Structures are given as C-alpha cells and as structure tokens.
C-alpha cells in the first residue's frame, strides 16, 4: 500500500491551520467525553499525534493506528508520548488489533475510508462493552475541501443525520453531534462535526 502522506508528514505539524483544527477537536472531545486515568484509547488515523498528544495526560494509554508509516514516525519521535503510546501501522479493517478499547477517537480520517459502514463495524469490534466513539470529520461539502485529484478521499464530508443513522445501524446508541471547529478555507468555511456515541 503506497504511503499517501509520506511527503505531507514532513511539514504537517508546521501547518497552523492543521494544529488549530486538532486543538479544537481535542477540546471538543474533552468536553463531551469523560476521560479517565486508566482509559485505553485507540486513535484511528493518528497521523503525527496531534490528537494523541492532547489526550495523553488524561488517559491511561493510547494505541495510534495509521496506514502512513511516515506520519507515525513523526508521532513516535515526540518525547511526551513515549511512555503513553503504542503504534500500529496497519489497516485495522483487514487486520484487526488483538486489544479492546474504552474509547476510539478519530480526527478527519473517516472520509479517507471507502466503506464507512464496515469501518464502524470494525470500531464496534474493537470497543469494550459500553465503549465510546468520538469521531470528528467534515460536514457535507462540495468536494473542494481537498485539492483536485487528491488520492484517498472517498467522501465529500458526511450528512449528520445520515451518519448518525449509520452509527445506530452498526451497534451504537446515544449518538450526539456538535460543531467542533470551523475550518477557514481560501474562499469559504468548512464546519467540522464531532460525533459521539456508545457501543450497545
């Protein structure tokens, strides 16, 4: 599998818009999920660890999953995460992890997965009983959030009602949405939602 983020990894953390987005999403997660010191967390599409770095002080341990080794290498180099995190460079839909988690978080990664229902089923499989989801992604947009021809983008955001129904159809309840961030583009703004839910 080609690493679509190999080049982007080099400058990812230097992009103020990306770090501001991650900070907003993390604040929203902290506001809507009761983090616990012993909590086991899966960060799906963890990238360079912007979300993990923010959540790490409030939880027990984090497993960072991504299909980009270059992004995970950046994450692994951060001293603040060294004792809190384990790394898995794999597609957990095709190769599930042996562990189960209390919370799965994801920031701007779900639209990079073609089969959303199967991804949610995979999340359900990886959660402990009563485990929680906190997924941040784009509201439905015209497809111009990403540059034309960007590889690995399967969805131009998600309709909240449809995404909520998909969560319920795949074993989640107590579904709730809020706006975590407004990403300011060159010509227009893009709302970013946070969806929270609990495994049934």
Q: What confidence tens digit (pLDDT) does each residue in 172-183 have? A: 999 999 999 999
Q: Comparing C-alpha atoms, which of 160, 164, 170 is closest to residue 123?
A: 170
d(CA 26, CA 139): 17
| 104 has a pLDDT exceeding 90 | yes
pLDDT mean across residues, the chain: 94
d(CA 99, CA 85): 14
Contacts of 60 (CB under 8 A, 6+ apart): 36, 37, 38, 39, 40, 41
Reported as a pLDDT band with limits 50, 70 and 90, residue 80 is confident
Percent of the chain with pLDDT over 90: 84
Percent of the chain with pLDDT over 70: 96
CATH fold of 16-199: Rossmann fold (3.40.50)
Residue with tokens 């969806």: 195
Reported as a pLDDT band with limits 50, 70 and 90, residue 1 is low
Distance of CA 180 to the CA centre of its chain: 13
pTM of the model: 0.94
Reported as a pLDDT band with limits 50, 70 and 90, residue 100 is very high
| 65 has a pLDDT exceeding 90 | yes
Residue 93 three-state SS: coil
pLDDT of 3 = 57
């Amino acid at each position: 599998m080609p690493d679509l983020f190999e080049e982007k990894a080099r400058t990812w953390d230097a992009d103020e818009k990306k770090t501001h987005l991650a900070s907003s999403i993390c604040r929203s997660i902290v506001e809507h999920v009761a983090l616990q010191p012993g909590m086991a967390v899966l960060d799906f599409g963890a990238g360079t660890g912007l979300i993990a770095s923010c959540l790490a002080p409030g939880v027990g341990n984090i497993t960072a999953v991504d299909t980009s080794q270059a992004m995970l290498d950046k994450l692994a180099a951060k001293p603040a995460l060294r004792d809190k995190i384990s790394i898995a460079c794999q597609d957990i839909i095709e190769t599930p992890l042996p562990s189960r988690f209390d919370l799965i978080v994801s920031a701007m990664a779900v639209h990079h997965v073609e089969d959303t229902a199967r991804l949610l089923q995979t999340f359900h499989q990886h959660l402990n009983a009563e485990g929680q989801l906190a997924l941040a992604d784009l509201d439905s947009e015209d497809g111009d959030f990403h540059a034309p021809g960007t590889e690995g983008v399967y969805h131009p955001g998600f309709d909240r009602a449809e995404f909520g129904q998909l969560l319920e159809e795949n074993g989640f309840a107590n579904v709730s949405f809020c706006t975590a961030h407004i990403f300011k583009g060159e010509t227009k703004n893009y709302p970013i939602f946070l969806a929270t839910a609990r495994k049934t």
